[in-house]
């Protein structure tokens, strides 16, 4: 068939047949896009065979039906109204436009998650969608991603075009059926409208009776949490979270109050501990490196590297002159997860997001707030656009009185075209600006450029890179040079010698895909380096214990000599009373990690999904055949106590010794 003939091809239909067929086409493409998602993420979805994939795809049918029904409410209503207006050609054309917009947007969202899933670990929710929409430089970000995900852009354009071409092949020749009289014709139309409305309601609910289909219902159709996103679809997850932020936390209860207190506590009383406060009276500056996985470092990499040359010689050199912790685990896989955990003192448990939850007005015993109340000046340097991922909002509610963003930087020429100010420029700016603060200060800086699309400036220190342009490794090298530049500028500043530098990361490196470094034990490993120019904290390495990202808050307060009682889920890494295990969340599972064993639990903590001997199997490729059951029971018991304390404190507004009044301040 010639192209011209094909373009004129139409299937004669009445309005009801055409509407049903067009709806079916839209839903079919939404269903098919699940397989694109699988092909791009096959290595992390835990599907072992084609038959298993088809079972998951069939299970996802009701989620697709619900999403398609929600997307097409206006379209179906316009087509099914029992009035002669439905015959109007302009009205029909308007319904076609609404169909095209709604279903193109739904399919586009589903395909977008194909690329984003590796970074977020979950289907997109309404709060994350609104975060993307509110990015000040959304156009630049999308354009910069085109180089890495060009195939996804082309595929999205092709699938949307094909979907609309097929849907609009149905030519409406008889808009509505006619009976003998006007009254009987209207009665028939009204009956069809009622049937269509009833069917649409059931489709949107996803069930005929009982509670409507929920995001969490996808778990019922899977063998493990990694398969859940294959059952879900993104439009469903977005629409189910409109007006809700992210789902509220469900307070867990495994132990009585007395039992919980005997296992662990989040109430810290420095007065009862020996004084070990080497940073007392000093400035504290926290550098949070975007995607700063320990895999970058030759010193802190926990797995034999397949790289032939170091990516971060400066970080290695400063780590060798500092007190460092070998096994530090990020809470989650997103920047806001890490920032919340580091400066809030509680973990990130996806899909829960603190900044969009009803608990965002809770008082927090965060380092910035407590140290500010103790006389510290607080400031944070954030090179991104204001509002990006709610990071600056959280920093402000956590106690930083001043948050410097991209808009405060004096020149746009150092903007990377995507996320914000290049790291070498923002670091140098921060180093000089810190001299304007009244000491002692508690300040921080979040870097940007080791984030996809890995923009590295050609005009600054561009020679002798070992890695290819546009790669995560090149961005890591650039970050290392930016950090060296920061310290070079800082050394000439009056505050430098009286400052404790803490170097950590928001999350582990997510970019060494399909390598051992992308495994659930290795990938969450991040930096925790404590450096003092005056040598007041001697160099060394802590390797006999594990550290969670949420342990950073009490560790900072302990180093600073904070002497009042406070609430923090973690514990001081350098204290003899430090928690015996670490906790992180990856692939929908909660991981409890010790010095030898790692236990993976379901998100509700009701079942063990894997036990791994990380000394013998650091890539966690195969569950251990035999293990120390007593130790595993102790780890599970500690993990349940931790999560019970976290959920109950959060829900009941007890994240501070002075809870105050909970007021929701951000949406």
Averaged pLDDT, 155-176: 86
pLDDT grade, residue 258 (50/70/90)?
very high
The closest of 116, 106, 121, 112 to 152, measured between CA atoms, is: 112
Residues 539-566: tens digit of each pLDDT? 999 999 999 999 999 999 999 999 999 9
φ and ψ at residue 204, rounded to 5 degrees: -65, -40
SS3 annotation, 394-439: HHHHCCCCEEECHHHCCCHHHECCCCEECHHHHHHHHHHHHHHCCC
What is the pLDDT at residue 362? 79
What is the pLDDT at residue 248? 72
- Cα separation of 429 and 448, whole Å? 14
Q: Is the dihedral of CA 343, 344, 350, 351 positive or negative?
A: negative
For the CA atoms of 138, 143, 144, 147, the dihedral, rounded to the nearest 10 degrees, stands at 150
SS3 content of the chain, % helix, strand, coil (to 5): 45, 15, 40
List of residues 6+ apart from 35 with CB closer than 8 A: 53, 57
What is the pLDDT at residue 174? 60
Identify the top-confidence range among 122-136, 313-327, 380-394, 460-474.
313-327
Q: Counting Cβ atoms within 10 Å, is residue 247 exposed (0-12), middle (13-18) or buried (19+)?
A: middle
Residues 74-101: tens digit of each pLDDT? 999 999 888 878 878 899 999 999 999 9
- The overall average pLDDT reported for the chain is 86
Residues 345-362: tens digit of each pLDDT? 988 887 777 877 778 777
- Degrees (nearest 5) of the Cα angle 137, 142, 143? 100
88-92, 364-368, 641-645: range with lowest mean pLDDT: 88-92
- Cα separation of 329 and 520, whole Å? 10
- Cα separation of 138 and 48, whole Å? 37
pLDDT grade, residue 120 (50/70/90)?
low
Q: Are 322 and 539 in contact (CB under 8 A)?
A: yes
What is the pLDDT at residue 459? 84
What is the pLDDT at residue 663? 36
What is the pLDDT at residue 350? 72
φ and ψ at residue 446, rounded to 5 degrees: -105, 120
What is the pLDDT at residue 65? 94
Q: Which residue has the higher pLDDT, 419 or 548?
A: 548
For the CA atoms of 137, 143, 146, 148, the dihedral, rounded to the nearest 10 degrees, stands at -50
Three-class DSSP category at 542: strand
- Cα separation of 592 and 574, whole Å? 20
Rg (CA), the chain: 27
HSE of 365, CA atoms in CB hemisphere, 13 A:
28
pLDDT grade, residue 272 (50/70/90)?
low
Averaged pLDDT, 458-477: 84
pLDDT grade, residue 313 (50/70/90)?
very high
What is the pLDDT at residue 212? 85
13's enclosing H/E stretch is strand 11-14
Which DSSP string do the residues of 573-589 spell out, in sequence order?
A: TTSTT--S-EEEEETTE
What is the pLDDT at residue 661? 42
What is the pLDDT at residue 147? 65
Which DSSP string do the residues of 566-622 spell out, in sequence order?
A: EE-SS--TTSTT--S-EEEEETTEEEEE-SSEEEEE-TTSSSEEEEEETTT-TT--S
What is the pLDDT at residue 485? 97
Please say if the pLDDT value at position 73 is more than 90: yes
Tell me: cis bond preceding 440? Omega within 30 of 0 counts.
yes
Q: Counting Cβ atoms within 10 Å, is residue 578 exposed (0-12), middle (13-18) or buried (19+)?
A: middle
What is the pLDDT at residue 594? 97
Q: Are 622 and 330 in contact (CB under 8 A)?
A: no
Q: Which residue has the higher pLDDT, 222 or 494?
A: 494
37-46, 150-159, 489-498, 604-613: range with lowest mean pLDDT: 37-46
φ and ψ at residue 650, rounded to 5 degrees: -65, -50
What is the pLDDT at residue 591? 95
The stretches of 121-219 forming alpha helices (DSSP H) are 126-133, 138-146, 150-167, 182-205
Residues 3-23: tens digit of each pLDDT? 455 556 778 888 889 999 999
pLDDT grade, residue 259 (50/70/90)?
very high
Q: Are 215 and 229 in contact (CB under 8 A)?
A: no
Q: Counting Cβ atoms within 10 Å, is residue 94 exposed (0-12), middle (13-18) or buried (19+)?
A: middle
Q: Counting Cβ atoms within 10 Å, is residue 302 exposed (0-12), middle (13-18) or buried (19+)?
A: middle
What is the pLDDT at residue 401? 92
What is the pLDDT at residue 3? 47
Between the CA of residue 641 and those of 265, 328, 627, 653, what are the distances in Å? 9, 21, 22, 18
The closest of 238, 444, 275, 261 to 343, measured between CA atoms, is: 444
Q: Which residue has the higher pLDDT, 124 or 314?
A: 314
Averaged pLDDT, 302-312: 72
pTM here is 0.74
What is the pLDDT at residue 353? 77
pLDDT grade, residue 665 (50/70/90)?
very low
Task: Name the percent of the chain lying above pLDDT 90.
Answer: 51
pLDDT grade, residue 141 (50/70/90)?
low
- Encoded tokens for 307: 């790289």
Task: Name the percent of the chain lying above pLDDT 70.
Answer: 89
Which DSSP string do the residues of 209-277 spell out, in sequence order?
A: SSSPP-GGGGGGG-SSGGGHHHHS-HHHHHHHTTTTSSPPPPPP--S-HHHHHHH---EE-GGGS----
Q: Are 80 and 19 in contact (CB under 8 A)?
A: yes
- Degrees (nearest 5) of the Cα angle 280, 284, 290? 150
43-57, 271-285, 516-530: range with lowest mean pLDDT: 271-285
Which DSSP string do the residues of 80-104 spell out, in sequence order?
A: H-SSGGGG-HHHHHHHHHHHHHHHH
Q: Counting Cβ atoms within 10 Å, is residue 268 exposed (0-12), middle (13-18) or buried (19+)?
A: buried
- Cα separation of 319 and 503, whole Å? 9
List 402's β-bridge partners, or say none: 379
What is the pLDDT at residue 104? 95
529's enclosing H/E stretch is strand 528-531
The closest of 434, 429, 467 to 450, measured between CA atoms, is: 467
- Cα separation of 639 and 636, whole Å? 5
The closest of 159, 163, 162, 160 to 25, measured between CA atoms, is: 163
Three-class DSSP category at 197: helix
Please say if the pLDDT value at position 307 is more than 70: no
pLDDT grade, residue 664 (50/70/90)?
very low
Please say if the pLDDT value at position 492 is more than 90: yes
What is the pLDDT at residue 440? 97
Residues 592-621: tens digit of each pLDDT? 999 999 999 988 888 999 999 999 999 999
């Amino acid at each position: 068939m010639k192209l011209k003939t094909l373009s004129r091809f139409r299937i004669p239909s009445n309005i009801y047949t055409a509407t049903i067929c067009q709806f079916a086409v839209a839903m079919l493409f939404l269903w098919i896009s699940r397989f694109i998602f699988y092909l791009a993420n096959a290595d992390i979805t835990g599907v072992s065979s084609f038959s298993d994939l088809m079972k998951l795809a069939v299970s996802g049918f009701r989620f697709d039906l619900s999403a398609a029904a929600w997307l097409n409410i206006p379209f179906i209503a316009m087509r099914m109204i029992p009035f002669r207006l439905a015959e109007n050609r302009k009205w029909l054309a308007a319904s076609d436009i609404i169909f095209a917009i709604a279903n193109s947007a739904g399919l586009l969202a589903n395909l977008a998650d194909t690329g984003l899933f590796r970074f977020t670990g979950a289907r997109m929710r309404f709060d994350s969608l609104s975060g993307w929409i509110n990015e000040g430089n959304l156009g630049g970000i999308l354009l910069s991603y085109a180089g890495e995900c060009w195939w996804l852009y082309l595929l999205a354009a092709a699938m949307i075009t094909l979907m609309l071409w097929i849907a609009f092949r149905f030519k409406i020749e008889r808009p509505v059926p006619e009976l003998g009289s006007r009254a009987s014709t209207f009665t028939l139309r009204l009956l069809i409208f009622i049937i269509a409305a009833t069917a649409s309601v059931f489709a949107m609910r996803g069930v005929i009776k009982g509670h409507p289909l929920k995001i969490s219902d996808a778990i019922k159709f899977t063998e493990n949490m990694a398969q859940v996103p294959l059952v879900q679809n993104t439009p469903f997850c977005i629409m189910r979270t409109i007006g809700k932020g992210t789902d509220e936390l469900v307070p867990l209860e495994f132990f009585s109050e007395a039992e919980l207190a005997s296992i662990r506590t989040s109430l810290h009383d420095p007065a009862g501990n020996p004084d070990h406060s080497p940073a007392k009276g000093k400035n504290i500056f926290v550098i949070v490196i975007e995607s700063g996985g320990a895999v970058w470092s030759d010193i802190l990499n926990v797995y034999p590297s397949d790289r032939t040359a170091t990516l971060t010689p400066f970080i290695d050199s400063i780590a060798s002159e500092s007190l460092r912790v070998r096994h530090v685990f990020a809470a989650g896989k997103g920047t806001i997860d890490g920032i919340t955990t580091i400066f809030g003192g509680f973990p990130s448990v996806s899909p829960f997001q603190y900044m969009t939850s009803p608990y965002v007005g809770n008082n927090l015993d965060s380092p910035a707030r407590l140290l500010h109340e103790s006389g510290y000046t607080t400031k944070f340097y954030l090179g991104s656009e204001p509002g990006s991922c709610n990071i600056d909002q959280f920093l402000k509610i956590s106690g930083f009185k001043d948050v410097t963003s991209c808009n405060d930087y004096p020149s746009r020429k150092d903007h990377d075209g995507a996320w914000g100010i290049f790291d070498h420029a923002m670091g140098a700016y921060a180093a000089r600006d810190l001299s304007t603060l009244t000491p002692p200060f508690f300040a921080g800086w979040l870097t940007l450029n080791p984030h996809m699309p890995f923009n590295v400036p050609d005009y600054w220190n561009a020679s002798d890179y070992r890695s290819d342009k546009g790669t995560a490794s090149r961005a890591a090298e650039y970050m290392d040079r930016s950090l060296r530049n920061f310290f070079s500028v800082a050394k000439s500043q009056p505050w430098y010698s009286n400052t404790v530098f803490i170097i950590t990361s928001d999350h582990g490196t997510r970019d060494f895909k399909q390598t051992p470094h992308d495994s659930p034990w290795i990938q969450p490993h991040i930096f925790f380096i404590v450096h003092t120019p005056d040598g007041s904290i001697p160099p060394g390495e802590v390797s006999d214990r594990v550290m969670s990202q949420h342990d950073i808050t009490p560790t900072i307060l302990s180093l600073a000599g904070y002497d009042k009682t406070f609430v923090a889920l973690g514990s001081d890494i350098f204290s003899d009373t430090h928690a015996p295990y670490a906790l992180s969340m990856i692939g929908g599972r909660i991981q409890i990690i010790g010095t030898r064993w790692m236990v993976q639990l379901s998100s509700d903590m009701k079942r063990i999904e894997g036990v791994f001997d990380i000394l013998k199997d650091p890539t966690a490729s195969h569950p251990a055949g035999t293990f120390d059951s007593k130790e595993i029971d102790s780890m599970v018991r500690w993990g349940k106590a931790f999560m019970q304390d976290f959920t109950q404190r959060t829900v009941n507004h007890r994240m501070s010794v002075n809870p105050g009044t909970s007021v929701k301040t951000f949406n």
